[in-house]
Amino acid sequence: MSRVALVTGGSRGIGAAISKALKAAGYKVAANYGGNDEAAQKFKSETGILVHKWDVSSFDACSEGIKKVEADLGPIEILVNNAGITRDAMLHRMKPEQWKQVIDTNLGSLFNMCRPIIEGMRTRKFGRIINISSINGQKGQMGQTNYSAAKAGDIGFTKALAQESARAGITVNAICPGYINTEMVQAVPKDVLEKNILPQIPIGRLGEPEEIARCVVFLASDDAGLITGSTITANGGQYFA
């Protein structure tokens, strides 16, 4: 019987690539999304992957959403915490709500998603939790104190939960993408991309969402049972952790 995978922020960008790659690898996949109904329904019709809408910054919403996914597909054995937002501003101009929204969505969501799922994984003695962090959680980024703090927190969360869960057969790992060819990066002005961003990347190009997805598929597999508490840097050599 196919294992069940849940991907947050799973209907667009890197999350969509992850959802599709897991399905292609034989998993039963559900994709959570937060707000873009049109994109989610288009994704569902094109892929056949179930989509479920809820706010990952709310513990209660996550608990209810997870119950619905498990009612549809069965116990969740692979969890990919991918959902994230940006609310960029220099700290001296950042509003409290910009800080809170990013911390709650990008870091708080890991607790909100893992807490309702982890006990079932422990009972079954198997689980794969994969947290999508960021290069900016490793090196920091001007104008992103909120985002960098949250993504750095994702890495700390990963390492701690990996230690707690190892004897229960659960692996917990993080992936830190660099600049990936998604809608968000495509919105960067071409001259900024070519003059300021690409020269920082030794391989000379953006990453593709499918390249991050392949990392996820490996970490979700039985073959990755030895790997836990690790951080995979996938940034084309831009930063070495």
63, amino acid identity? S
Spatial separation of the C-alpha atoms in residues 165 and 183, rounded to whole Å: 35
Catalytic, 147? Answer yes
Catalytic residue among 27, 147, 179, 239: 147
Q: Would you say 57 and 112 are in contact if contact means Cβ atoms under 8 Å apart?
A: yes
65, amino acid identity? G
Supply the residues annotated as catalytic.
147
